[in-house]
Chains A and B, each alone.
Chain A
């Protein structure tokens, strides 16, 4: 297809306006962020100067309410947006989950009953469980092993950027890439999928990888691990580098081998970072949607909660059932978030 810039002029104009609007809004915000505190500071300075000039004493306490106003000024947009974007929809979803498909009649717990009585949905829940157990475990392990291995190696930065690169790809993009990796063509045709090409190269028969459960779910999990391992590696590598040199040296003097070094020194020292990584990946995994939707759309028994929720609520028009799935997802995420917060508090106290 030919691309005529002249034909696209109206769209390009919209693009230009978009860019200008972006600069205006972001510029305006930065300007406010800079100007408002400066203005407050100037006024305080002026007052201080005026007060000291008149010889009076200046009490710091008198300035507190003003700073409170300043704090409110910054807090208000966040609170407002949280309310509109999080609290209200969450409450509404909860209410809708007790209602029928178009949200008019109360049905009690029927939607939750449906969830656990349909084999399809039970399968979706078990798949999600499989994801949440495997992805954080494998991604963190790979990231950790990689971080330890490349630590102080010769081409450390290059090796690290290689594994970190998938992080820069969106989930949808990753899904499309891996769909090609698993692509199937019959024996008589040229293979376009990497995996089947390898199989054929070794004399095997090409397979339809994404067709058979539970193998297909595992193959989708590989995609998520591929993305998240880089994140785990970067955080853990930083934590490893932050281990005080004297501890490492002391351990060396005590004559530890590499194995003992890893289990007795490295691992305990990076424990907080490790927990952060596992928790973050767990939450991301619970919410996984894009990969499944792009690659199989939950067909062939690969569905997960977020994907099924979307299909029920927006494709099938079963708002109640979709909302119930969303609530379940929320319930599953909450304990992990609470654990994470408590963990952070504990660290701060130490």
Chain B
């Protein structure tokens, strides 16, 4: 064989070099945490004793929000010596399933869909929380919130962040110029819409395109109107399939949403006709408000992050939001919202320590101080919430009079909640009638 020996030598050198580098990488990372006894660590005494242990967390939170989240537990990690490895993924829902099936489950996951949580719990993949975590969660969250992560009487994890979805975004500036007032009832809302439509402008703008989750913003509309046209009890029945998906009560809510969403006179300001809702991304959905091309946009509190840089979000600023009014005052003040839950796939003591800490008021305040965050944690001090919309959301969540309901599509089995419900909404916007849409969704409910 006429192969020169030189490349072979090169490979040998490269191999040795690589091994040496890997070896040095593995050594020398075990640092002692000498901060453990310092005064600022006093608050973390009960979590100590797991120094050098590692805990992996997997969630759908990415980019800036993920950096902020990681900062929120930095002090905890420094003081306890527990290393937290955080990983955020845009494909979280599908990849979590893959990782769990593949025997590579993270220690802790933040699951925003109780439906998905139930699936993992029923498959026996989730570990029930420790007594400490349970006590901490019960102290800080209302029973309503704890219910969503309780499966078969077993409690699996406390909520973390939350959001309030029953908001309509508007421009206080435009309202002042045109002399509009913030509507407090459904009739006032429709009267305002008609008034704006009469000027030749389309009052509402909407967008439900969201990559492979396209359709979800429309499901929020339906859920909000289920709560407004029906009672919370009917809403619960609908979510748990106590009544069929194509029940006349659901059709009523869908048609009510249709009076706005499928009204060519009302939508879609700045984008085109009704069908343009389907191809307008949810991130861009409300932006025409800042250009004066539409006036109203129903979207959750987290939409505050979507406004262009320099937009002032405040009651006297460029944009703000008001509570999406109810139809019948006798039905109270229903609020739709969502949030993620910290569940564990491992029950090592250090994992439980992290899980307990994440349920604590200390963590909620630590995260809120960094900015743009809402939680239903009762220990969250309103003074730590800077953003006015977040403040309003926390007030709503902490108000005992609020009739809170969790995002219905997130509670339903994934085949419906993040499958046919989304798909059905897209087709409904696209011209399919209410009855056919609901029958299609009903047909996909897992037996």
Contact = CB atoms under 8 A, between A and B. Distances in A.
Interface string A159-198: 0000000000000000000000000111111000000000
Given A31-B12, A316-B415, A299 B214 contact: yes
B14 A17 contact: no
Contacts of A210: 279
B69 interface: no
Given A31-B11, A300-B430, A208 B22 contact: no
B94 A35 contact: no
Contacts of B8: 31, 34-35
Interface in B385-432: 413-415, 418-419, 423, 426-427, 430
A318 B446 contact: yes
Nearest to B115: A317
Interface string B3-14: 100001011101
Contact of A30 (B11, B116, B430, B446): B11
Contacts of A314: 94-95, 97-98
Interface stretch (A19-27, A47-55, A219-227, A232-240): A19-27
Contacts of A133: none
Interface string B64-101: 00000000000000000000000000000111011000
B179 interface: no
10 contacts: A23-B18, A28-B11, A28-B15, A186-B270, A188-B270, A208-B278, A300-B278, A300-B430, A312-B415, A314-B95
Given A186-B270, A297-B211, A299-B426, A34 B3 contact: yes
B14 A186 contact: no
Contact of B18 (A21, A189, A208, A311): A21
Interface string B269-301: 011100110110000000000000000000000
Main secondary structure of the interface of B (DSSP, over half): helix
Nearest to B21: A20
Contacts of B446: 101, 318
Please list the 5 inter-chain residue pairs (A to B) with the smallest Cβ-Cβ separation, ordered nearest first: A24-B18, A186-B272, A27-B11, A314-B94, A316-B415
B46 interface: no
B159 interface: no
A316 B414 contact: yes
A149 interface: no
Contacts of B11: 27-28, 30-31
B22 A17 contact: yes
B19 interface: yes
A187 B272 contact: yes
Contacts of A35: 8
A118 interface: yes
A67 interface: no
Nearest to A186: B272
B101 to A, nearest CB: 9
A38 interface: yes
Contact of B21 (A17, A188, A211, A299): A17
Contacts of A38: 1, 3
Contacts of B423: 120, 299
B215 interface: yes
A2 to B, nearest CB: 13
B123 interface: yes
B415 A318 contact: yes
Nearest to A34: B3
A323 to B, nearest CB: 12
Contacts of A118: 443-444
B119 interface: yes
A269 B391 CA distance: 76
Query: Which interface class (under 10, 10 to 19, 20 to 34, 35 or more) fits B?
Result: 35 or more
Contacts of A311: 419
Given A315-B418, A317-B415, A17 B276 contact: no
A187 B273 CA distance: 11
Contacts of A13: 25
B30 interface: no
B34 interface: no
B212 interface: yes
Nearest to A314: B94
A316 B214 contact: no
A300 B419 CA distance: 13
Nearest to A205: B272
Given A20-B18, A41-B1, A316 B418 contact: yes
A210 B280 CA distance: 12
B198 interface: no
A123 B44 CA distance: 57
A189 B446 CA distance: 43
B17 interface: yes
Nearest to B93: A315
Interface in A304-327: 310-312, 314-318
Contact of A211 (B12, B278, B443): B278
B199 to A, nearest CB: 16
Contacts of A102: 119, 122-123
Contacts of B214: 297, 299
Contacts of B119: 102, 317
Contacts of B272: 184, 186-187
Interface in B153-200: none
Nearest to B443: A118
A300 to B, nearest CB: 7
Interface string B311-337: 000000000000000000000000000
Contacts of A17: 21-22, 25
Name, among B1, B212, B440, the residue most crowded by chain A CB atoms within 10 Å (CB to CB): B212
A182 to B, nearest CB: 9
B276 to A, nearest CB: 6
Contacts of B116: 317
Nearest to B418: A315
A295 to B, nearest CB: 10
A23 B21 CA distance: 12
A31 B9 CA distance: 9
Contacts of A187: 272
Nearest to B423: A299
A87 to B, nearest CB: 18
B15 A297 contact: no
A20 B11 CA distance: 11
Nearest to A310: B94
Interface string A1-29: 00000000000010001001101100110
Contacts of A37: 1
Contacts of B25: 13, 17
